[in-house]
Structure 1
Amino acid sequence: MKKGIIALLITAVLVFAAACSPQGTDKSVDYEIALIASADSVEDGSFNQAVWRGIESFVEEEPVSYKSYLATEDTTDAYLRVIEEAVKGGGKVVVTTGPTFGNAVKEAQEEYPEVSFLMVDGQPQEEDGSAAAIDKNTLPLLFAEEQAGYLAGYAAVKEGYHSLGFIGGKAYDSVQKFGYGFVQGADQAAKETGTSDVNLRYTYAETFEQDEQVQQLAADWYQKDTEVIFACAGGAGKSVMKAAEQTKRKVIGVDTDQGQESETVIISAVKNLNESVGDVLSTYYGEGEFAGGQAVQLSAENGGIGLSIESSRMKNFTARDYDEAFRKLAQQQVSIKSEGIKDAKALETSRVAVELVGL
């Protein structure tokens, strides 16, 4: 991913919003940047932590007070209470992580027009789940997860794995896209290598937290014949890693480079979370502008997704292989199905046999 491409993309859609711009530091303000997450901790080794690192990287260069707030209940009312707490605590920029905040931000953007809402992997939603208006004080950052998942599946089969697994946290749109892309990438690599015996177990764990049941599920798959699992489950990915360590199998990480979490992680499907969050904050504090009012789409074309090829532990899938696969995505030479799909089996892949587990 090239440094600065995200900044240029965000600048291209900037909308000057005086009501959302910083007007100097009020001495009574405690925490101007507020991260709100629906998790036990921001240190999940995955998505939330990557967003948090983006904020930390920014404040290292631009000293601004910041704090994380954790929602203890998975309800819109609970999210609104936490947002209210953050705003009362001096929050000028409220950063939310994931799609679960859609209903809450839809209401909060109207209730707090002076606050800027940066939604990472989410956008305002109506109660029925349909898209809601994006006000000028709200900026959703959306990623092409299907592309990152495609690269992960492609790399796995090119590496030589024939028995794959996918464990998602919950069947959210972003998680499904990772999974659907994974299946299609594996199928494409199987076609190119003349492989016809690729099997893929597929399920959702119904949690993004570390969980003994997730660890046991992964261990069961590994003990059967699964060689590598693509774990798109936030903190629950650590449970998959524990199972891999016990069975001497492998994991593909997600969202950020998870290679440091476990030696079982051979590569990760990453989103450019750190830089994209930092770019938004830099523009807000440096130029007094906020690119709200519409969503920013981040993909291979603008350096928004990729694989952690620099720290890859793969032996057969090389940097040259990756560059070629990434180039095709960036130039839109690859079509990946991600919308209107009933389930992973409905993708009707010709070289990958999908087994839905518990779905």
Structure 2
Amino acid sequence: MKKKILSVLMCAAMAVSLMACGGSSDKTSNSGAATSEGGAAESSELKIGLVTDVGGVNDQSFNQSAWKGLQDAEKDFGVTVNYLESKTDSDYNANIESFIDEDYDLIICVGYMLADATRTAAEANPDVKFAIIDDATNADLDNVTCLTFKAEQSSYLVGYVAGLTTQKNNVGIVLGMASETMHGFGYGYVAGVLDANPDCKVQQINANTFSDSAVGKTSANTMITNGADIIFQAAGATGIGVIEACNEAGDGIYAIGVDQDQAYLAPDSVLTSAMKSVDVSVYDTVENLVNGTLEGGNVVYDLASNGVNIAPTQDLLTDDVIAAVEDVKAKIISGEIQVPATQADFEAKYGDVYELD
């Protein structure tokens, strides 16, 4: 079958990185924190640690959003917060252990790449509470709260924008890693593009890193050379290079941000962003800890709960496009539009037009 999608595989000689999604709730122990008469922990006694992925706490994306949520919780609840950055994936276990050794009450791990390290630590330390973003595989553990997002829904929205806005019928997506979680971004984005513009071509590049902006920039420049005028990046710090390339290209070339509203990075070039409320999920988790209601399991954030959305900055979008997005948003929430999150669901509607790397 003739492909509508140009799929390009890019390998970067880098250590494997991260990003990810997670889920709902089950009961956990109080990890020794002081409690009030009502059973809620005294917030001044609580210590919460954040372990980043290799993108670092200032990645202007996923990790930074998680840290913002923790800082907001510090201000509102009086808890003590700290973070440890993972330079490589070999740091995950050591960083988690550092917080355990210092008697932290809750350890928040940012991204599915920390799933194995989280499980190992949680099983060995059942009296310590853990949370992990973008991973639901640990939802069976009573002391792990998984925080997951329907990222395919926000990706669909920005894909719809791209399909309606492109002047060349040629758009792109740069993923940080080839994985089931990351391809959820891809399925949603391509579905949105094709629903808005069935004649549009979509280029895909897997950068194979979340921490190399140079690889992101090269990926975007390759797509621009091949005719793309709008490029969505779901690649953490690597995606910053995508935005730089689009900004430097100018002349009707646009980037689409991810996780946060990234318009501030290039106001004339970032068309919109696929929002994921990582900061809200972290804040909610700390609030539940303080209130003594934090449970294990999978907590899902979706469009209906405003856990995912399109960015509020829409200066570069026409009124017609904004109206069209609001219409499909309502249809997703009502269930009229079912956004594919897996290969089987995608191919059932669109066929074999999205080739995975």
TM tier, shorter chain?
Answer: 0.7 to 0.9
| Stretch deviating more after TM superposition (99-108 or 207-216) | 207-216
Identical-pair percentage? 24
**In 2: Cα distance, 1:314 partner to 1:171 partner:** 30
TM-score, normalised via structure 2 length: 0.83
One-letter identity of the residue aligned with 2:292: G
1:258 aligns with 2:259: no
1:179 aligns with 2:195: no
> Could you tell me which of 82, 92, 108 is aligned with 2:95?
82
CA contact (8 A) 1:158 1:317 kept: no
How is 1:83-98 mapped onto 2 (pairs within 5 angstroms)? 83-98=96-111
User: In the alignment, which residue of structure 1 is the partner of 2:30?
Assistant: 19
CA contact (8 A) 1:160 1:316 kept: no
User: In the alignment, which residue of structure 2 is the partner of 1:232?
Assistant: 234
**In 1: Cα distance, 2:26 partner to 2:222 partner:** 51
1:113 is displaced (CA, Å) by 1.6
1:108 aligns with 2:108: no
1:210 is displaced (CA, Å) by 2.9
1:169 aligns with 2:180: no
How is 1:276-355 mapped onto 2 (pairs within 5 angstroms)? 276-285=281-290, 287-292=291-296, 294-341=297-344, 349=350
Q: Which structure 1 segments of 5+ residues have no match? A: 1-9, 124-130, 191-195
**In 2: Cα distance, 1:82 partner to 1:105 partner:** 11
What per-residue deviation string (whole Å, max 9, x for no partner) do you get for residues 38-80 of structure 1?
Answer: 22521101111111111111112122221111223324xx422
CA contact (8 A) 1:20 1:137 kept: no
**In 1: Cα distance, 2:88 partner to 2:348 partner:** 34
One-letter identity of the residue aligned with 2:70: I
1:141 aligns with 2:141: no
What per-residue deviation string (whole Å, max 9, x for no partner) do you get for residues 161-185 of structure 1?
Answer: 4210010000132211011110011
CA contact (8 A) 1:97 1:120 kept: yes
One-letter identity of the residue aligned with 2:312: I
1:349 is displaced (CA, Å) by 3.4
CA RMSD of aligned residues (A): 2.7
| Stretch deviating more after TM superposition (154-163 or 267-276) | 154-163
**In 1: Cα distance, 2:353 partner to 2:342 partner:** 20
Q: How many pairs were matched up?
A: 325
1:151 aligns with 2:157: yes
**In 2: Cα distance, 1:313 partner to 1:214 partner:** 23
User: In the alignment, which residue of structure 2 is the partner of 1:51?
Assistant: 66
One-letter identity of the residue aligned with 2:273: S
1:267 aligns with 2:272: yes
CA contact (8 A) 1:298 1:304 kept: yes
1:218 aligns with 2:223: no
TM-score, normalised via structure 1 length: 0.82
One-letter identity of the residue aligned with 2:190: V
**In 2: Cα distance, 1:110 partner to 1:304 partner:** 29
SS of the residue aligned with 1:225? coil
**In 2: Cα distance, 1:347 partner to 1:254 partner:** 27
**In 2: Cα distance, 1:121 partner to 1:70 partner:** 18
One-letter identity of the residue aligned with 1:270: M
SS of the residue aligned with 1:338? coil
> In the superposition, relative to structure 1, how do residues 348 and 167 fare at CA in structure 2: closer, same or farther (>3 Å)?
farther
1:347 is displaced (CA, Å) by 7.0
> In the superposition, relative to structure 1, how do residues 341 and 261 fare at CA in structure 2: closer, same or farther (>3 Å)?
farther
